[in-house]
Amino acid sequence: MNPVTPTNLGETILNVFFYLIIAAFLIYSIIAIYSLLRYGRTKILSISVIVVYLIISAGLYAAAVSSLNQIK
């Protein structure tokens, strides 16, 4: 018999919370990028800043996923 242990439930809750937070982050980022591209006067500057932001965010996301996997 292999019952579902509280640890697994904890992991599921942690995963759900983590990806909800990431979804909120993603939505907010998309709105920010949209505003900058929509209202920004210099597209080259806007795109450059967005690329830098996305690279840093992707690095931080990778670090967060790595930390999440470390907990499991």
Partner 1 sequence: MIHNPLFPGQQENEKIYMVLRPHWFIFFLKFLAWVLFAAIPFIIDWFINQFAPGLNNAPYVGYIDLLKDIYMMFLMLGLFILWIMYYLNMQIITNERIVDVTQKSLLHHTISELHLTNIEDVTAEVKGVFGTFLNYGSVYVQTAAETERFVFDNVPNPAAVEKMILDLYEKVPKGND
Query: Given the rule CB under 8 A, which residues bind partner 1?
Result: 18, 21, 25, 28-29, 31-32, 35-36, 39-41, 49, 53, 56-57, 60-61, 63-64, 67-68, 70-71
What is the identity of the amino acid at 40? Answer: G
The span from the CA of 58 to the CA of 26, in Å, is: 11
Q: Which is nearer to partner 1, 2 or 63 (CB)?
A: 63
By the 8 A CB rule, do 15 and 65 touch?
no
Q: How far is the CB of 47 from partner 1 (least distance, A)?
A: 13
The separation between the first and the last C-alpha atoms of the chain, rounded to the nearest angstrom, is 22
Q: How far is the CB of 3 from partner 1 (least distance, A)?
A: 21
